[in-house]
Amino acid sequence: MHEMNHERSSRSAMLPERIDLNLLRVFDAVLEDQNLARAGKRLNLSQSAISHAIARLREALDDELFVRTPRGMEPTARALAIATPVQEALRTIHEALGAKPFDPGTTARVFVLAANDYVTSVLLLRLSRHIVKVAPYIDLVIRPSTRLDLAEQLDVGRIDLAIGIFAEIPSRFQSEAIWSQKEMLAMRKGHPLGARGLSIEALADFPLVTVSVGGHEEGAVSGYIFERGLARQSELFNRQALEDAMREVGRRPRYGVTLPHSLVIADLLTTSDMVAIIPQPLAALLTASEDLQAADLPYDVPTTTLRALWHQRFEYDPAHVWLREQVLEIARA
């Protein structure tokens, strides 16, 4: 029995050296689509052929690689560990065999970006208009960065670029600063605060409109949600700085309305005495009308940096490099 087990173990250890390159292409497709039928369509293979290829890989690597769940074929820890090296190897082979260079004017491709609605309004709307002009066959899909599996979606390649504020970034991700921003106070024109003078005591008398996409029940700590080593902002304002300032004068903030998005902030402010603490770029957008005004906060708040975040497997991908350049160009403009 011991000899049989030793023979089986040795045979399994040798198999990876003889893996067919096509099996790795199947692995990459299933990893991205998490669905055998879609992966087969991508590679022009039948679902049974995909299943057979995955079975051969499972035997060679002595791991399940993918587990069938209601959400699709979920990768195992081993599959996630080998994903980046496999994808980079496939890209290198593809380039070595003479793949056509990326041409934004003729290339058809779908980019998936994750952002909250504020970033979508301020930045991605302009990006979309720009891409329509310079890359007519490239499509953008915007998904909410508030989803709890953001890090996982980046890991498996279902999101190309995430835009937000991140406190901690694991080494498997790369990032670049888009802009720095401070917080502002927005209110309707003619608001009583304008006549009284803006102090922390006066601010405590008015209910706040705030945006929060995750609390303690979603695992948020100090305004950030932590998952798979990634810490991303869960609120559009610095709650700790506000509450510390209020505490110094013996007051507490009045959280009048807490929203999961910024879409109705303007409507709430123009029809009430509520005020909102929001990022400066959003304040500039909302006060472009004649109904709202913005003011500096009566307490100190650290400046935060909005960043573009991507998986390291895309670091040298020509199309992805081009996309990041467009985002930064629009942000600077």
Q: Is residue 6's pLDDT more than 50?
A: no
Looking at the domain 183-302, which fold is it? D-Maltodextrin-Binding Protein; domain 2 (3.40.190)
Within the chain, strands assigned E span 66-69, 72-75, 109-115, 138-144, 161-164, 166-168, 173-181, 183-188, 208-211, 220-221, 224-227, 230-233, 257-259, 275-279, 292-296, 304-311
Residues of the chain with CATH 1.10.10.10: 2-96
Residue 257 sits at the vertex; the CA angle it makes with 252 and 263, to the nearest 5 degrees, is 135
120: CB partners within 8 A, 6+ apart: 142
* pTM for the model: 0.70
Q: Looking at 114-118, 179-183, 289-293, which range is the least confident one? A: 289-293
Cα four-point dihedral sign 8, 12, 15, 21: positive
In percent, how much of the chain has pLDDT > 70?
Answer: 89
Q: The domain at 109-163+310-332 falls in which architecture?
A: 3-Layer(aba) Sandwich (3.40)
DSSP classification of residue 192: H
Query: Highest-confidence range of 99-103, 197-201, 211-215, 268-272, by mean pLDDT?
Result: 268-272
Q: Is residue 13's pLDDT more than 70?
A: no
Q: Is residue 5's pLDDT more than 60?
A: no
52 and 39 in contact (C-beta within 8 Å)?
Answer: no
7: CB partners within 8 A, 6+ apart: none
Averaged confidence pLDDT in the chain: 87
Residue with the two structure tokens 């903030």 = 253
What is the Cα Rg of the chain in Å?
25
Distance between CA atoms of 290 and 285, rounded to whole angstroms?
11
Residues of the chain with CATH 3.40.190.10: 109-163+310-332, 183-302
On whether the 2-96 domain is CATH 1.10.10.10, my answer is yes
Distance between CA atoms of 267 and 246, rounded to whole angstroms?
26
Q: Is residue 214's pLDDT more than 80?
A: no
pLDDT value at residue 252: 95
273 and 209 in contact (C-beta within 8 Å)?
Answer: no
In percent, how much of the chain has pLDDT > 90?
Answer: 54
Q: Looking at 45-54, 158-167, 287-296, which range is the least confident one? A: 45-54
